[in-house]
Structure 1
Amino acid sequence: MSRSQARSCHSLVVRVPGPIDAEELRQHLRARAAGGRPELAELRLWEETLPFGAGHPAAGPRVRQEAERPLHVTGLPLRAVLLRYADGDADLVLVARHELTFEQPRFTFGWSAGTTGATDGARPALEWGLGAPADAGRTGEVPVPLPTAVRAGHALLVGAVALVLARYGAGTTVDETQRTGDFLAGWEGAYDGGLLPLSGVGVLIERATAGERRLSSLAPELPAVLHFALHDDGSASGVLRHDLGDLDPAVAERFAAHVAHVAAQLAADAEQRLDAVELLTPQETEAVLRLGVTPAAGDAGTADCTVHGLFADVVRDRPEAVAVTAGDTSLTYAELDARAGRTAAGLRALGVAPGSMVGVALERDADLVATLLGVLKAGCAYVPMDLRYPEERLRYTVENAGATVVVGGVDEAFPAVEGVRVVTPAELRVLGEGTGPTPLPEDPSAPAYVIYTSGSTGRPKGVVVPHRNVAALLDATREDFALRADDVWTLFHSSAFDFSVWEIWGCLLTGGRLVVVDYWVTRDTELFHELLVKERVTVLSQTPSAFAQVIEVDRRRRTDLAVRLVVFGGEPLDVRMLSPWFARHSHTGCRLVNMFGITETTVHVTAHTVTPADVLAAGRRVGPALPGWTLSVRDPRGRLLPVGAAGEICVGGAGVADRYLGLPGLTAERFIDDPYGGGRIYRSGDRGRLRPDGGLDHLGRLDSQVKVRGHRIELDEIRNVLLGHPEVSGAATVLNHDVPTDSATARIDAYVALRGPASTADVLAHARAVLPAYMVPASVTELPAIPLTINGKVDTAALPAPAPSAAGREERAGTSEVPAAEHDPQAAQILKLWGHVLNTEVTEQDNFFELGGNSLLVIRVLREMRELGMPKVTTQDFYRNSTAGRFIELVRDSQS
């Protein structure tokens, strides 16, 4: 039978004490059926005599087999089966369509009309259920272990279910400051005798009659149904029947236990406040905490070391092995160590004391790696900055970090900051020539680096991470990922992005070779793919957005790659995008690992190996905690949540950072002492749920933070920057996608209310002067006022569609220039291509990035140009000619 047939039926089992007159029972069933359903006048009572008593272990499975056998779609709406036992008792099993209500003095059978809440075809979902879709239509059953001492009524049972669902975050919010008695009084009269739906869980309460009774759905119309029986002595019993496609058996068992545990507490004291009611028992609390802990590796011996101390060990073992490859430059471990040593000596010659913060603003090259190592050797912490950030942001970072020295490049000048000296790597090494090493005490607790992340106040915040955290990260992954000396890694990401911490030190502290990827190569997937092939890269770290482009190039080129391990991070992974990759590459030959991580917890927290089965399931799994890390999920009050329930992800253990630099209030708010005794934990602001196996599902954010192409962005930071313009009286920012399932089309749109003569182009220019390019809104739309909800928050649903970017268009209004595209088919083709990718009309005066373009869309344009047989254009040339007219000229010139 199909699952839909099973879901259309329910069953009733009645224990009938002997002696039993089958003919009398048959006539009674026919008479009762004929009164309401004439087609049942010929109802047959099937009989079977079993060779064992009602208490025999085989009795339950036989009854269950009969009760869960659905009716044929063309058959009668009721089937009756009498199972006789050797001891004289029997079970009467009735199976009927949901619409059938059947009554007689000994039992009531059927759903009351209009109370199921599930007959309209819209089956609710249980986010917390963790059911297996492959098992949909199969039914599970667990008891609700209500204590016999509990005097249960309708209000108590319904109230207990409602409070549990509220704690799960799956029901109506409950005011937990109210008294238990008042809370239960509010549920008096809420139950009308039928099936009451509460957030996907049905509640059915009946008065118990003689004999055992069980009303159930073969495959519940609702994902789960709690059936309670009220007994004459005032106690109650219950059973939870559930669809295995919606509710995992382990989660179902705990949910039923939570209902019983809460009901007992509600019944015990009418004066206590609801917030004193505990969802979990002490034993379950301990079990859930233990589930989120992955013990550190037993042979971990580097956790009490510094990064540069671990590097020195590798130098002693592999002095002549190549450590870094950057273009035509290669450095052995000994050469890299020597260059870093001179850098450290140069910093000391400038008077930089151990414990200081040193700014580093360099392009990705060999000097960058040597400088970062040199800063650590000097006993200092490096503060990496991206030279493409606006000058104001760079100045703020240096001033906030208290750095007096910035190591900058030759070609791109670092902005002047009072009291800060800017030196090049070469100048530092000259200053350090002839100076012997100065031994410094090893301090694993000292800061190794400070990386600045987006902050809701409108300013970035610096995360201070000590050496021991980096060492622990290597201990946690080295064995599982089989990191070894013959691996070749890429440094693909900006040093200001914490993914680079994993790439640089994950490679160099395990003796591998680090291939530094030039900035423009990271922007051209064709060139990057060529680099992967040429350098025989084995370990690759990518955001999902970037890897999607690699998959496309790999599909077309079909060149053999040496990659054995791909680590995803920086943003959520939609596993469905990996289908083309698995079509070409075995998951046993190249391991794909989805890792959830946060800057504040040292890059990575969890690891889940993705397989083709995950692609079919299309889940959100990010795996269990790394060895030495801990995971738990808490509610808004900080209380531990059970398996399945969604809440805030809290991370503890070896990866928790020291603090936010110079922000003691925010540090105290986000880095807290675990009330359950787990040490310091970080409240991530990410939403997730634990699975029964200890793995984590990542479910997004609880606040206004978003991830765009690997960058963590606080929308409130952008909003506050917009409000910093003197003519802006109100502002809102939202994340949109031109194509909902395409991460490359992610864009931030802004809305402003203006109080003066400023234009949206002025506001956008103000944002560009403060924010890095990846945070600049793709559009700014002017509104008379920002719409608000009744709670005073921005009503995002009331915001109109974003207006096209106004930047530059106001100045071009009224020009009489005849577009070249009118008489140039190639120009028209390019404008059409840009318009398709940007989802807007494009003129020759428009700038690709001002219309919402980004690095991933650049790659898409260039790929489609190649497919159309148009001349090849490098990404660097695209960025330098990002106005449509200039780009058209570039293409035209390349053909001459």
Structure 2
Amino acid sequence: MSQSDVRVDGIEATPFAPSDSDRIAASRHVPAGHPRNSSLGDLFAEHVERDPDRPAVTYGPVTLTYRQLDRVTNSLARRLRELGVRPDRLVAIRADRDLSVIVGMLATIKAGGAYLALDPAHPASRLRGILEESKPVALLAEAGADDPSGLGIPVITVADHLSDAVRDDAAHDVRTDGGAGPEDLAYVVYTSGSSGAPKGICVTHRNVVQRTRDTDYIRFESGDRVAQISNAAFDAATIEVWGALLNGAELVGFDRDTILSPGRLATALRERRINTMVMATPLFNQLAADDPSTFATISQILVGGDVMAVAQANAVAALPGCTLINGYGPAECTTLATAHHVTPMPADQLRVPIGRPISNTTCYVLDDTLRPQQVGVPGQLYIGGDGVARGYLGRSDLTNERFLPDPFGAEPDQRMYATGDLVCRLPDGSLDFLGRADFQVKIRGFRVEMNEVDATLLQYSGIREAVTVADADTRSGDKTLVSYYVAAGEGPPHTGDVMAFLRDRLPDYMVPSRLIRLPELPKNANMKVDRALLPSPATSAPPADDGAGPAVPDVLDDEIAAIIGRLLDVPSFGREENFFESGGQSMLAIRLLTQVGRRFGANMTLAEFFEDPTARGIARYVQQRAEVAAPDPQTFAESAPGRAGEGRP
């Protein structure tokens, strides 16, 4: 098809003229020697041969060299081959932030298959639906796990292949090569779907190689120490895992409690000598707001998944020797498509740019007829290049709708992905992200189709209508979900029951922070829900600054309840009320525990908080930690700042 006669998905595209070239944000440069036609297994094997005794991956006390990692993954890959794993056949991995995840990914690639990482924290019904659709050949899991789908999928315990006997046995030096090539699948990642069901994105070896070898947005070098903090089911793990293992670096795993505690994270980053990390924007915003020096020892930080806060970006960009990169890219384009190296910005600047296309990537800002827009004029962002994924698993209709022929491509049969994001080009050629063109949002770095939340709500027998919107939390600046609903019967359903119903079916980040019951949802003339007429969710002023000094023990419960009440905008929050059932989410929990740590000197972890997420539970923890060092209550009160018996939040 010539560029003078372009028709895309029923749209008669305006012919592309040479004069339009300055309106196309392109970065088609491919570095000399870039291994575009290599598989992930080929590139990993190069480092095994080149430097076999270099550390490859560290999780807790266990470190595997490239030779040892090669051996254990060869052992597991041969087992997968026996089960029938071949190119484009899937292997599910049900584990999180564990050495078995990394071993499972690499072994699956060596066997010629593609991995599908599952989040063990997701509801069983959601995992079952994904497994039913994807039909994996095998399920890799930690010890004692079983098949959550009931489909009879063979379960392999990865730990069986991690013994000293395997990692030190030269018999496993014989390479396992399942024959996968650059166009074969490397992995499938599931994201929220607008039809009410998640959809699987099919990513190839070439896609991953393009994003992790000879990159121009970040530097991966032999001997680097790369933090692995992303959930394996989150596509950011692609950059962490393969950015390290395809470049001779060492991947260092972090547990969840360390990641979500600013003090612990700063210490761990320094002690483990991490120089490169990838982080979801909401977590970055929160950690940088709490203490920018958390990142003081890091050489380069890639942040993406949502809108970066200008104040936090400025604070971290000012750290000596620290390079901060604001990245943008949907999972359909292999995690990343543009990058912006952040430098100090005016305090009143509204947004941090998402930057320019990375190498061998094209970004088009187009109108409804696929005509390039001028500088400063909004349009939908379309992305082309080697990072564009194959499409959606088993969804040819949706694939054809979003993955289109590229009318501007330099080569025939190139495709571009319609992101649904609105952007505009700035005078310097970089891109400014303006928001979604539809009702899809990012919550804590995860993409959410609000229609899926609505569809799940409507499965509850007591709800007749539902619509979900994104609300900006004035307390933290983060997005949250608010769902409006109309009850099906005479009496409204119990909020706690509805929230429990949602938590059984949706990941935590998709559960609304607030449910609002209405007698009817507002409709327009076409009888469609008019979101503009929905009542605004109540907002509250930011909580007061944390106070200093200890509180008197007999008022500890009430003081902690008051802190929680301010965070949740629930002035009368009770001592025994459940933080999460009252609208709390993980990011607010991090803020709460940070305040508690500063106020009372008790560094409670999220895992400990989950055991009893109430004011009384926190108070009990604080008192237990204070028993050894604290003086008696009278001395405790007299030593407190202000009047005796008064604690300040």
TM-score range, shorter chain: 0.7 to 0.9
Kept in 1, the 8 Å contact 2:213–2:247? The answer is: no
Distance in 1 (alpha carbons) for counterparts of 2:374 and 2:268: 47
Distance in 1 (alpha carbons) for counterparts of 2:124 and 2:229: 24
Distance in 1 (alpha carbons) for counterparts of 2:101 and 2:311: 36
Residue in structure 1 matched with residue 614 of structure 2 by the alignment: 883
Deviations 1:784-829 (A, max 9, x none): 221122343322343235589xxxxxxxxxxxxxxxx999311111
Asked if 1:633 is matched to 2:354, the reply is no
CA 800–286 in structure 1, closer or farther in 2 if over 3 Å, else same: closer
Kept in 2, the 8 Å contact 1:325–1:514? The answer is: yes
Kept in 2, the 8 Å contact 1:525–1:549? The answer is: no
Distance in 2 (alpha carbons) for counterparts of 1:823 and 1:488: 44
Distance in 2 (alpha carbons) for counterparts of 1:621 and 1:560: 21
CA 472–714 in structure 1, closer or farther in 2 if over 3 Å, else same: same
Across the aligned residues of Structure 1 and Structure 2, the Cα RMSD in angstroms comes to 2.7
- For residue 597 of structure 1, the aligned residue among 312, 326, 329 is 329
Q: TM-score, normalised by structure 1?
A: 0.63
Shift of 1:609: 0.8
Shift of 1:719: 0.7
Kept in 2, the 8 Å contact 1:387–1:412? The answer is: no
Kept in 2, the 8 Å contact 1:451–1:498? The answer is: yes
Shift of 1:532: 0.4
Kept in 2, the 8 Å contact 1:464–1:657? The answer is: yes
Residue in structure 1 matched with residue 639 of structure 2 by the alignment: none
Residue in structure 1 matched with residue 642 of structure 2 by the alignment: none
Kept in 2, the 8 Å contact 1:465–1:658? The answer is: yes
SS in 1 for 2:338: coil
CA 518–527 in structure 1, closer or farther in 2 if over 3 Å, else same: same
Q: Which runs of 5+ in 2 are unaligned?
A: 1-10, 540-550, 628-649
Distance in 1 (alpha carbons) for counterparts of 2:441 and 2:276: 27
Residue in structure 2 matched with residue 854 of structure 1 by the alignment: 585
Deviations 1:160-179 (A, max 9, x none): xxxxxxxxxxxxxxxxxxxx
Shift of 1:427: 4.0
Distance in 1 (alpha carbons) for counterparts of 2:74 and 2:57: 16
- For residue 293 of structure 1, the aligned residue among 14, 26, 39 is 26
Deviations 1:280-320 (A, max 9, x none): 9833234423xx21122240421111111111111111110
Shift of 1:606: 0.7
Kept in 2, the 8 Å contact 1:620–1:699? The answer is: no
Distance in 1 (alpha carbons) for counterparts of 2:257 and 2:12: 58
Deviations 1:666-707 (A, max 9, x none): 000000112345621000011101234432111111111111
Residue 419 of structure 2 aligns with an amino acid whose one-letter code is S
Kept in 2, the 8 Å contact 1:630–1:652? The answer is: yes
Shift of 1:372: 0.6
Residue in structure 1 matched with residue 416 of structure 2 by the alignment: 681
Judge which range, 443-452 or 361-370, deviates more.
Answer: 361-370
Distance in 2 (alpha carbons) for counterparts of 1:831 and 1:864: 12
Counterparts of residues 174-193 of structure 1 (less than 5 Å): none
Shift of 1:837: 1.4
- For residue 179 of structure 2, the aligned residue among 412, 422, 441 is 441
Residue 603 of structure 1 aligns with an amino acid whose one-letter code is T
The size of the alignment, in residue pairs, is 595
- For residue 148 of structure 2, the aligned residue among 415, 419, 426 is 415
Distance in 1 (alpha carbons) for counterparts of 2:247 and 2:31: 18
SS in 2 for 1:636: coil
Asked if 1:572 is matched to 2:289, the reply is no
Shift of 1:721: 1.0
Distance in 1 (alpha carbons) for counterparts of 2:325 and 2:295: 20
CA 389–281 in structure 1, closer or farther in 2 if over 3 Å, else same: closer
- For residue 609 of structure 1, the aligned residue among 312, 330, 341 is 341
Q: TM-score, normalised by structure 2?
A: 0.86
Asked if 1:581 is matched to 2:316, the reply is yes
Shift of 1:389: 0.4
Distance in 1 (alpha carbons) for counterparts of 2:12 and 2:133: 43
Asked if 1:715 is matched to 2:462, the reply is no
Asked if 1:471 is matched to 2:202, the reply is no
- For residue 218 of structure 2, the aligned residue among 462, 481, 495 is 481
Asked if 1:652 is matched to 2:390, the reply is no
Shift of 1:864: 1.4
CA 830–360 in structure 1, closer or farther in 2 if over 3 Å, else same: same
Deviations 1:357-400 (A, max 9, x none): 01001121222111110000000000001100000111111111
CA 572–379 in structure 1, closer or farther in 2 if over 3 Å, else same: same
Distance in 1 (alpha carbons) for counterparts of 2:121 and 2:378: 38
Residue in structure 1 matched with residue 521 of structure 2 by the alignment: 786
Residue in structure 2 matched with residue 517 of structure 1 by the alignment: 254
Distance in 2 (alpha carbons) for counterparts of 1:560 and 1:376: 33
Structure number with greater Rg is 1
CA 480–385 in structure 1, closer or farther in 2 if over 3 Å, else same: closer
SS in 2 for 1:682: strand
Residue in structure 1 matched with residue 231 of structure 2 by the alignment: 494
Residue 467 of structure 1 aligns with an amino acid whose one-letter code is H
Shift of 1:647: 1.2
Kept in 2, the 8 Å contact 1:608–1:621? The answer is: yes
Instruction: Identify the structure with bigger relative contact order (alpha carbons < 8 Å, sequence gap 6+).
Output: 2
Distance in 1 (alpha carbons) for counterparts of 2:13 and 2:598: 64
Residue 330 of structure 1 aligns with an amino acid whose one-letter code is T
Distance in 1 (alpha carbons) for counterparts of 2:16 and 2:220: 42
- For residue 284 of structure 2, the aligned residue among 526, 543, 547 is 547
Kept in 2, the 8 Å contact 1:409–1:424? The answer is: yes
Residue in structure 2 matched with residue 837 of structure 1 by the alignment: 567
Residue in structure 2 matched with residue 366 of structure 1 by the alignment: 99
Asked if 1:535 is matched to 2:535, the reply is no
Distance in 1 (alpha carbons) for counterparts of 2:556 and 2:429: 57
Residue in structure 2 matched with residue 4 of structure 1 by the alignment: none
CA 307–438 in structure 1, closer or farther in 2 if over 3 Å, else same: closer
Distance in 1 (alpha carbons) for counterparts of 2:175 and 2:214: 31
- For residue 349 of structure 1, the aligned residue among 77, 82, 88 is 82
CA 669–885 in structure 1, closer or farther in 2 if over 3 Å, else same: same
Distance in 2 (alpha carbons) for counterparts of 1:298 and 1:870: 51
Kept in 2, the 8 Å contact 1:780–1:803? The answer is: no
Shift of 1:413: 5.0
Residue 263 of structure 2 aligns with an amino acid whose one-letter code is E
- For residue 40 of structure 2, the aligned residue among 304, 307, 331 is 307
Distance in 1 (alpha carbons) for counterparts of 2:343 and 2:306: 19
Residue in structure 1 matched with residue 546 of structure 2 by the alignment: none
Deviations 1:426-484 (A, max 9, x none): 3467999978644433411000000001111111100000001111112451x553321
Kept in 2, the 8 Å contact 1:635–1:648? The answer is: yes
Shift of 1:486: 2.5
Distance in 2 (alpha carbons) for counterparts of 1:887 and 1:510: 44
Shift of 1:845: 2.7
CA 298–890 in structure 1, closer or farther in 2 if over 3 Å, else same: closer
Asked if 1:504 is matched to 2:241, the reply is yes
Kept in 1, the 8 Å contact 2:223–2:248? The answer is: yes
Kept in 2, the 8 Å contact 1:321–1:332? The answer is: yes
CA 277–374 in structure 1, closer or farther in 2 if over 3 Å, else same: closer
Distance in 1 (alpha carbons) for counterparts of 2:263 and 2:416: 42
Deviations 1:167-217 (A, max 9, x none): xxxxxxxxxxxxxxxxxxxxxxxxxxxxxxxxxxxxxxxxxxxxxxxxxxx
CA 559–600 in structure 1, closer or farther in 2 if over 3 Å, else same: closer
Kept in 1, the 8 Å contact 2:332–2:417? The answer is: yes
CA 441–409 in structure 1, closer or farther in 2 if over 3 Å, else same: closer
Residue in structure 1 matched with residue 486 of structure 2 by the alignment: 753
Residue in structure 1 matched with residue 595 of structure 2 by the alignment: 864
Deviations 1:202-246 (A, max 9, x none): xxxxxxxxxxxxxxxxxxxxxxxxxxxxxxxxxxxxxxxxxxxxx
Kept in 1, the 8 Å contact 2:276–2:299? The answer is: yes
Shift of 1:748: 1.0
SS in 1 for 2:27: coil
